Amino acid sequence: MKLHHNTLTAKICTWDKLRETIDSWRQNGETIVFTNGCFDLLHKGHVDYLNKAADLGDHLVIGLNSDESVSRLKGAHRPLQDESSREYLLAALQCVSLVTVFEQDTPENLIQLVQPDILVKGGDYTRDTVVGADYVEELGGRIEIIPFLPGYSTSSIEQKIRKSTNNL
């Protein structure tokens, strides 16, 4: 099956379209998995994490930090790729159902909109540090922490790039 451009861009949506689509999935009894992040340099660790998250339910929804949000969280030198590029790359992954951008520093408002059955975060989190965990559990959902694939992180890739360019 070919992944056509129209199919790919259809995965990138506004919050209104997201709500409409999720409502449709829920009417069909389908399970919604949600995760969020910057996904600044998409790498093998991200792909492993997202595939494992998608395996937990029927649809994986990603909340993507806006460019401004990434800069506030990671510093003025980030993001390395703009949000349009990051959205497009995530949408190209077969395991991803929808991608939407959020402007806030945390995904709390988006989590309340999505009301996921399963809220997923990476191995550097604990249940107590996951934003929205209490809300999701109050709705009957659950929290899943997926361990990192050792040796893969955006920060380590960024450091390698900076080191290699300094040696030129």
Answer whether residue 120 shows pLDDT above 70: yes
| CB < 8 Å & 24+ apart, contacts of 22-25 | 22/59, 22/61, 22/114, 22/115, 25/58, 25/59
Residue 77 belongs to a domain with what CATH number?
Answer: 3.40.50.620
Phi, psi of 60, deg, nearest 5: -105, 120
**Total of domains in the chain:** 1
Domain that holds residue 154: 5-166
- Contact predicate 149/128, CB 8 Å: no
pLDDT at residue 37, as a whole number: 96
Answer whether residue 1 shows pLDDT above 60: no
pLDDT at residue 8, as a whole number: 77
- Name the pLDDT band for 150 (thresholds 50, 70, 90): confident
Give the H/E segment covering residue 45: helix 44-54
pTM of the model: 0.90
Q: What percent of the chain has pLDDT over 70?
A: 91
What would the two tokens of residue 28 be?
A: 């069909």
